[in-house]
Structure 1
Amino acid sequence: MSRSLKVFGALLFGLVLGAGVGANAATTTTTGKTKHHSAGTTRVATSVKAHSGASHSSSAAKSASHAVATTTVAGRRRHGARPTLAVRRTRYQEHFSASSYADNLTLGDVVEGEDPLVRAAAIEALGNMNGTAIAIDPSTGRILAMVNQKLALSRGAEPCSTIKLTVALAALEEGIVNKDTPVNLGGHYHLTMTEALAHSNNLYFETLGRQLGFERVKHYANEFGLGELAGYQIQGEQLGTYPDEVLPASLGGVGRMCSFGESVSMTPLQLGALVSAIANGGTLYYLQHPETAVDVATFEPKVKRVLDIAPLIPEISVGMQGAVQYGTARSLRANFSQFPVMGKTGTCSNNGTRFGWFGSFADTPKGRIVTVFFLEGGRPTFGPKAAELTGEFYRALWDKDYFQQKPTVETSGVVGASE
């Protein structure tokens, strides 16, 4: 009889234990979910509510590597111990079919009308990375150098986080925010435009995009040159397009279009023209690529239109400079820090190809210069890499005394100095 009672008691304990595990599993709730994009940051908050009523919170990130969390039950063997929930993570990495490296990038380039020093620096910086490098004089719209012209003049690609420049200008023009306005992104989490541009925060620009609405977002994007040819009679230039309809809500809607340009196609020339307008105070020039020495001698700037953005430029320049100083483009400073550079990175992927963008302008002793580095490939290709190459480009020009004569050390009175 005693033995039967022990068996019955063990069975009863097992049933109670199973019910406890089921209750724990049933009360697991997810309170929020956002995503990490390659060139931006967002946050995830997940809470697990235990059967006893105590709560445990943790933060997780769902990144481009597609981290997947699975929940398992781990019971402790000690008599009377309550089973606990353990989280096991399995990471899946995105696979890329495109190569980040290429040979013969300059094959077929038309170079007679380019600045030889600028072109040499761009070639040196780009190396064998699969991409294109463009340098522009923003005061005239003249293309000083265009390396790998086949890619530079192509239909382009998703602009990734560089689209945030057009969204920022639109929100400023509409009076939705200024650079110091704290935007609530959920709970006690706030960001200003300066911080959001520097760190390329996706959620911030998704929020602005939803406040603007698709019609206004599209209007300003078109006004800033997206959806139309950027060049003037540049042979072989193809058109990057801006859609006439909003991205379906199931794919992220207007918010996703504003965080990294989903469904938009932008060319390197279009980004170069936009950054040039920011650099020169608001004049959107037709970009021109002189092909001969005669073209250079007879060059005349051609204005497409004047944008009413002069008062807005200081509002975004702080964030663009922050990107280089401490944000997503800080890799540039590993190679160059002699004068201020303002820019915007972008990273995303599509159909096995990863894109890395960096559009920037620099305040140099010779005036401002605009650069666009656009890379295609696999895992080594991303926005911060494009920024790093831009730093190498400026360093190469600096070493060639392109901007100014390097300061000389005063030798008067120094031991070993000669007259």
Structure 2
Amino acid sequence: MNTPLRRVSVFCLALILALMGWATWIQGAKASDYMGDPHNPRVTIGKYAAPLGNILVDGEPVTGSAATSSTLKYKRTYKDGPLYAPVTGFTSQIFGSNQLESLYGDLLDGSDGRLQSPADAVLHRRAKGGDVATTIDAAVQKAGYRALGDKKGAAVALDPKTGRILGMVSTPSYDPGTFSGSAAADQKAWQAMAKDADRPNVNRALRQALPPGSTFKLVVAAAALENGLYSSVDEPTDSPDPYTLPHTRTTLHNENASAPCENATLRTALQYSCNTVFAKIAADLGQDKVAAQAEKFGFDDGKVDVPVRAAKSVYPKGMDSAQTALSGIGQFNDQATPLQMAMVASAIANGGELKTPQLVDKLTDGGGNTVQQYGPKTYGEGRAISAHTAAQLRSAMQTVVDKGTGSGAKIDGLTVGGKTGTAQHGVDNSGTPYAWFVSYAQNGAGRQVAVAVMVEDGHAARNEVSGNGLAAPVARAMMKAALS
């Protein structure tokens, strides 16, 4: 063979070997990357090639799958979509997925390796989709949704002993089934939701932190007892009325001018929601001690996963004494989600021990066999408050419902404790205030439930907005449903 021909032959052989090596690299080492790339249409085709597994409430599916005439053979369907959207999230052939639908997408579409049988592995086929069993109690969910009605707001109900989320409602809601497919109507429904000024796609129960108003006084009362500022909720607080904010000439008054707030006990101060008392307590304790107590309840934790991640609830830092006083009544820059305030009530109800909130009970394969079981976990490093402090606060919260501002939460045959809140909104409080109610209930058998409700807009006149009038009836409905 002459030299030029030999060189061409060697060069061609090198090209063939390089091509074979690249093909081996693509099919071997890089195969999983390409198979998982969302831009690969085969990923979407495979996901919707068979019915998806379901999300369950009380053991019954609140999702489903329907056959289509397109390349994507099945699309997701929803039972009572607006009711359960804050729980399930959505799965769309065009717009992807979120919440449980996203977090457990591999399990639901059968691509989770834990679902694969030996036969599936040999035949290189996708397993049947598994199911996600939630902790939601359908009766509690429906009660909260009906009670919120056309109000803009959210509610969370927890089992204090386990942390199980029994109800998680956000209104206004949306129907994820209207855009689960790939037709023009699905795109139109998505665009309408995205442009809605009321933001129905926001899960207000988990993802919207707002000033908690007077419900934060429970945290300040806990800090006062835990730090020995007072020995009980029935000890006078030596508080003036009105109260001048430290190092200022600004005086703080109480909403109810006739309330007995001067030198009031913690019980009386919670009963009448005395701003002067809790502002002074926060200033006396200082921001560090209030912050330490708030953090034990879950504030300033950016990784509260239920498993959907909640927005961080914030107790502000770097305040002066006057700002610290205002933070003690749930104003200044305090921010809390309904989930966070339900955690506060839950710890108080459960003798001071706070359980990590959980939305998922277990995962199962396509045959109903358990793949993963979730159990109760204690939040943080230990107790949020002592058993003594918890008992004191439960007693004071009962007074709020029996004789104070929380009468709208009374339920015959149940022990109910609560705290109202009306948080300022807008520059110089020009907006409609936020109405809050935080509560717990217990029946004769010892079963408990803790609830937090936030009403962002109840379509009420500004002077008619109150936690007792707008939020307490929602809490009452959910507590009654949980313990009936």
Tell me the TM-score range normalised by the shorter chain: 0.5 to 0.7
- Structure 2 residue ranges without an equivalent (≥5): 1-80, 89-132, 171-201, 242-259, 365-369
Report Cα offsets for 1:51-78 as digits up to 9, x if no partner. xxxxxxxxxxxxxxxxxxxxxxxxxxxx
Deviates more, 1:320-329 or 1:370-379: 370-379
CA RMSD of aligned residues (A): 2.5
Query: SS at the partner of 2:392?
Result: helix
Indicate if the aligned counterparts of 1:320 and 1:342 stay in contact, CA closer than 8 A.
yes
Matched, 1:240 2:313: yes
- Aligned partner of 1:146 in structure 2 is 168
Within-5 A mapping of 1:343-382: 343-351=418-426, 352-366=431-445, 367-377=447-457, 379=462, 381-382=465-466
Matched, 1:121 2:143: yes
Matched, 1:322 2:399: yes
Indicate if the aligned counterparts of 2:165 and 2:358 stay in contact, CA closer than 8 A.
yes
Query: SS at the partner of 1:152?
Result: helix
Within-5 A mapping of 1:11-410: 106=83, 108-110=85-87, 113=134, 114-148=136-170, 150-177=203-230, 178-186=232-240, 189-229=262-302, 231-246=304-319, 248=320, 252-290=322-360, 294=364, 298-304=373-379, 305-307=381-383, 308-333=385-410, 336-351=411-426, 352-366=431-445, 367-377=447-457, 379=462, 381-384=465-468, 385-395=470-480, 397=481, 403=483
Report Cα offsets for 1:106-148 as digits up to 9, x if no partner. 4733356222122122222222221112111111111011112
Query: SS at the partner of 2:332?
Result: coil
Q: Which amino acid aligns with 1:169?
A: A
**Displacement of 1:105:** 5.9
Report Cα offsets for 1:337-387 as digits up to 9, x if no partner. 321111111101222242111111101245011111111026354311211
Please give the alpha-carbon distance, in whole angstroms, between the structure 2 residues aligned to 1:403 and 1:260.
30
**Displacement of 1:262:** 2.0
Q: Which amino acid aligns with 2:155?
A: A
Q: Which amino acid aligns with 1:319?
A: A
Q: Which amino acid aligns with 2:234?
A: D
**Displacement of 1:332:** 2.1
- Structure 1 residue ranges without an equivalent (≥5): 1-103, 405-419
Q: Which amino acid aligns with 1:239?
A: K
**Displacement of 1:232:** 2.8
More strand by share: 1
Q: Which amino acid aligns with 2:238?
A: N
Q: Residues 323 and 124 of structure 1: is their aligned pair in 2 closer, same or farther, counting only changes over 3 Å?
A: same
**Displacement of 1:388:** 2.3
**Displacement of 1:242:** 2.1
Please give the alpha-carbon distance, in whole angstroms, between the structure 1 residues aligned to 2:343 and 2:404.
23
Percent identity for Structure 1 against Structure 2: 30
Query: SS at the partner of 2:203?
Result: helix
Q: Please, what TM-score do these two structures have when normalized by structure 1?
A: 0.64
Indicate if the aligned counterparts of 1:155 and 1:265 stay in contact, CA closer than 8 A.
no
Q: Residues 134 and 293 of structure 1: is their aligned pair in 2 closer, same or farther, counting only changes over 3 Å?
A: farther
Please give the alpha-carbon distance, in whole angstroms, between the structure 2 residues aligned to 1:233 and 1:317.
26
Q: Residues 298 and 321 of structure 1: is their aligned pair in 2 closer, same or farther, counting only changes over 3 Å?
A: same
Aligned length: 291
Please give the alpha-carbon distance, in whole angstroms, between the structure 2 residues aligned to 1:316 and 1:301.
24
Indicate if the aligned counterparts of 2:287 and 2:317 stay in contact, CA closer than 8 A.
no
Report Cα offsets for 1:185-207 as digits up to 9, x if no partner. 33893211110111111001112
Indicate if the aligned counterparts of 2:144 and 2:167 stay in contact, CA closer than 8 A.
yes
Q: Which amino acid aligns with 2:281?
A: L
Report Cα offsets for 1:282-302 as digits up to 9, x if no partner. 222221111777489823112
Q: Please, what TM-score do these two structures have when normalized by structure 2?
A: 0.56
Indicate if the aligned counterparts of 2:151 and 2:455 stay in contact, CA closer than 8 A.
yes
**Displacement of 1:271:** 1.1
Deviates more, 1:386-395 or 1:124-133: 386-395
- Aligned partner of 1:86 in structure 2 is none
